[in-house]
Amino acid sequence: MTQRIARRFQISTLAAHLVLIGFTLLALAPTLLVIMNSFKPRKEIFGAPLALPSFETITLIGYDTVLKRGDILNYFQNSLIVTVCALFFIILFGAMAAFALSEYRFPGNRLIGLFLVMGIMVPIRLGTVGILKLMVSLGLANTLFALILVYTAQGLPMAVFVMSEFMRQVSDDLKNAARVDGLSEYTILFRLVLPVVRPAIATIAVFTMVPIWNDLWFPLVLAPGESTRTMTLGAQSFIGQFITDWNAVLAALTLAIVPMLILYLMFSRQLIRGITAGAVK
């Protein structure tokens, strides 16, 4: 009897794992293809796109091309500056707004919360024309600052929403104890509340950083100039109307994955705690 239950349990976990493994493969396949093919010569990419690079075929020609074009480092730097700065502002302002919304009672509190939820649902790209006009008249066209501003605006609603939910769970007694001890509201937020909601921050960091890093739209519209190009936009320069240097494109994309991977690993421990929740108590 118990054995039968045990076996049925095994079979169901096995099935669950098969489904999950299948899904993982499906999700990873495009990335793996890009990475594999970035090490193959052009002929092999089209001749046998699914084959692993062998000893005879392996080549670094794509990476060579990419790195020889000196501006690739510049693209990298631009992407990093934009992503890290936007992330910083999103978390900073997001935390402050979330603390205000979750901690203080003031007229319009719920209205502002609702307004932010709308910000999550309405894509910021709908306002591209307006944003472009604004940036041009502010003299910010073709600057990284324009991108940072737009991405901060894009990421804030979600950040405020998630963090204020988490902050509501932080014990009132703890904050009040700090007030009795004479800590300022800023110290309470940054020293006491933020460390407790770290998992929420990691979650927000991962979910907002990836779309920013990968975005092609706003760099193309707001900062297409040579000096302000981001990685994703830069990789496009290998795609021509008539000839495309696929080796270089794939190599550039592979390189673009690396920083995200590193940042992700940094946040991932916190992230898992955030997703499995209950961590805040």
Partner 1 sequence: MGKLVLEGISKRFGAVEVLKTVDLDVADGEFIVIVGPSGCGKSTLLRIIAGLSDQSTGKVLIGGRDVSSLPPSKRGIAMVFQSYALYPHLTVEGNLTLGLKQARTAASLIAERVAEAVRILALEPFLKRRPGELSGGQRQRVAIGRAIVRHPEVFLFDEPLSNLDAALRNQVRAEIADLHRRLGATMVYVTHDQVEAMTLADRIIVMNGGIVQQIGTPSELYRRPANAFVATFIGSPGMNMVAGTAGGGVLTLAGSGRLPCSAAANGAVTAGIRPNGFEILPGGNDGLAGTVIASEYLGAESFLRVRLADGTVVTVHEHPDHGWLIDQPVTLRLRPGNLHLFDAASGVRIAEGPDAAAQPAAARVA
178 binds partner 1 (CB under 8 A): yes
Backbone angles phi, psi at 48, to 5 degrees: -140, 75
Return the structure tokens found at 68.
């020889």
10 binds partner 1 (CB under 8 A): no
CA-based R_g, the chain, Å: 23
Report how far residue 53's alpha carbon sits from residue 251's, in angstroms, rounded to the nearest whole number.
Answer: 14
192 binds partner 1 (CB under 8 A): yes
Report how far residue 82's alpha carbon sits from residue 209's, in angstroms, rounded to the nearest whole number.
Answer: 10
Query: How much helix, strand and coil, in percent to the nearest 5, is found in the chain?
Result: 80, 0, 20
Name residues contacting partner 1, limited to 262-281 (CB under 8 A).
none
| Binding residue for partner 1, selected from 108, 182, 240, 278, defined by CB under 8 A | 182
CB of 109 to partner 1, least distance (A): 13
109 binds partner 1 (CB under 8 A): no
Residue 127 is given by DSSP the state G
Which residue type is seen at 181? D
Name residues contacting partner 1, limited to 194-253 (CB under 8 A).
195-196
Closer residue to partner 1 (CB): 21 or 174: 174
Report how far residue 242's alpha carbon sits from residue 83's, in angstroms, rounded to the nearest whole number.
Answer: 32
How many positions of this chain bind partner 1 (CB under 8 A)?
Answer: 14
Stretch touching partner 1 by CB under 8 A, among 24-32, 119-127, 178-186, 230-238: 178-186
Report how far residue 40's alpha carbon sits from residue 45's, in angstroms, rounded to the nearest whole number.
Answer: 6
Closer residue to partner 1 (CB): 23 or 186: 186
CB of 19 to partner 1, least distance (A): 38
How many residues make up the chain in this entry?
Answer: 281
Name residues contacting partner 1, limited to 135-164 (CB under 8 A).
none
Return the structure tokens found at 279.
């961590």
CB of 171 to partner 1, least distance (A): 6
Closer residue to partner 1 (CB): 159 or 170: 170
Site residues for partner 1 per CB under 8 A:
171, 173-174, 176-183, 192, 195-196
